[in-house]
Amino acid sequence: MSAPGRSQALTPEPFKGEGSPVSAPGRSQALTPEPFKGEGFPVSAPADDTALVALEGLRKAYNLGRPNEAEVLHGLSLRIARGEFVALIGPSGSGKSTLLNVLGLLEPPTAGSYRLLGRETAGLDDTALTRLRGQALGFVFQFHHLLPAFSALENVTLPLLMRDGRVDAAAEARARELLAAMGLAAAAGKRPGELSGGMQQRVAIARAMVGAPPLVLADEPTGNLDRHSADEVFALMRRLHRERGTAFLVVTHDPGLAARCDRVVELVDGQIVGDRAQTQPGP
Ligand code: ADP
Ligand code: MG
């Protein structure tokens, strides 16, 4: 699947957000946007440029300017630090997928601020959004969305092919290592149709992890699986978090799985109505 001739031209510049002065902890104070010092302020926490995700007053409406315009997210403020493992729960229609799509830079918010890796995303053009997405985010969906004509290994390396324009030996080795970590070393050459639902979803998780993103967004990743496979997939995400420090934001309807996350954010009617930390028993 590699295209050696194109590799140089398509290799994106390394993303400058991480490790740049913008994200240095020492600057967070100087950048705190608190112009108004009146009674009762601050209403929100000071800006924290070390946060992985920082939403302030985030709104999302669909069909803007049309008669059927409807606001789905009503001014959310949320911070996620590096290495957190967070459940996002809430009734159907409360806006969980919309929030994940906004966080995933797949849908633009209609108002408010979204900083990812300390970088304001409003105003970024498609090229910059694609680059930031490729550097910062991995995605797991309820349905695995693997390409049926490609092997498990090719599916896992696909995001790298799209991001870098090539899959070099190191990238392929990383994909194989991730498949092995998912218990799928022997399945690297198999097509999705030859794998069980749980195995397909584990391939999808390897695909989400292949660019070593600091954050994986998972929208009901176990929603289509039987109990046993769901437990297995969830346990693998916890292990990736523990061993690699990857942050996860996992939408789930399953109270048992939400209970196994370190923090639970609850969305109802487009508003955050709960946000609590939970202590987990040791591994
Ligand atoms: P959840 O994932 O919590 O079930 P969603 O984010 O999918 O909720 O949907 C929240 C609300 O936004 C629902 O009322 C849904 O109908 C509406 N919605 C979702 N996507 C769109 C869209 N592309 N266009 C218009 N309305 C949408
Ligand atoms: Mg949804």
Instruction: Please name the residue whose Cα sits nearest to atom 7 of ligand 1.
Output: 97
Q: Which of 62, 71, 249 to mutate to test the pocket of ligand 1 (most atoms within 8 A of CB)?
A: 62
> Does residue 22 lie within any of the structural domains?
no
> Does residue 168 lie within any of the structural domains?
yes
Question: How far is the centre of ligand 1, averaged over its atoms, from the C-alpha of 246 (Å)?
Answer: 27
For residues 185-204, give the mean pLDDT.
Answer: 97
All residues with CB under 5 Å from ion ligand 2: 96-97
Contact at 8 Å (CB) between 261 and 83?
no
> Does residue 11 lie within any of the structural domains?
no
Map tokens 């408010």 to a residue: 112
Instruction: Please name the residue whose Cα sits nearest to atom 20 of ligand 1.
Output: 98
| Range name among 26-35, 73-82, 189-198, 206-215 with the lowest pLDDT average | 26-35
Those residues with Cβ within 8 angstroms of residue 149's Cβ, 6 or more apart along the chain or in another chain: 191
Pick from 190, 207, 202, 200: nearest CA to 150: 190
| pLDDT greater than 70 at residue 25 | no
106-161 confidence digits (pLDDT tens): 999 999 999 999 999 999 999 999 999 999 999 999 888 899 999 999 999 999 99
Pick from 265, 261, 211, 256: nearest CA to 241: 261
pTM recorded for the entire structure: 0.83
Domain count, the chain: 1
**Ligand lying nearest the CA atom of residue 93:** 1
Residue range(s) defining the domain that contains residue 262 = 82-105+125-277
For residues 230-242, give the mean pLDDT.
Answer: 96
Question: How far is the centre of ligand 2, averaged over its atoms, from the C-alpha of 280 (Å)?
Answer: 26
CATH of the domain at 183: 3.40.50.300
> Does residue 203 lie within any of the structural domains?
yes
Q: Beta-carbon neighbour count of residue 74 at 10 Å?
A: 15
| pLDDT greater than 60 at residue 15 | no
> Does residue 55 lie within any of the structural domains?
no
- pLDDT for the residue 164: 87
Percent of the chain scoring above 90 in pLDDT: 76
> Does residue 3 lie within any of the structural domains?
no
> Does residue 216 lie within any of the structural domains?
yes
| pLDDT greater than 70 at residue 7 | no
Question: Which residues form the pocket of ligand 1, taking CB atoms under 6 Å from any ligand atom?
Answer: 62-63, 72, 90, 92-98
Q: Which of 89, 97, 250, 273 to mutate to test the pocket of ligand 1 (most atoms within 8 A of CB)?
A: 97
Nearest ligand 1 atom to the CA of 267 is 3
**Ligand lying nearest the CA atom of residue 223:** 2
> Does residue 110 lie within any of the structural domains?
no
3-state secondary structure the chain: CCCHHHHHHHCCCCCCCCCCHHHCHHHCCCCCCCCCCCCCCCCCCCCCCCCCEEEEEEEEEECCCCCCCEEEEEEEEEEECCCCEEEEECCCCCCHHHHHHHHCCCCCCCEEEEEECCEECCCCCHHHHHHHHHHHEEEECCCCCCCCCCCHHHHHHHHHHHHHCCCCHHHHHHHHHHHHHCCCHHHCCCCHHHCCHHHHHHHHHHHHHCCCCCEEEEECCCCCCCHHHHHHHHHHHHHHHHHHCCEEEEECCCHHHHCCCCEEEEEECCEEEEEEECCCCCC
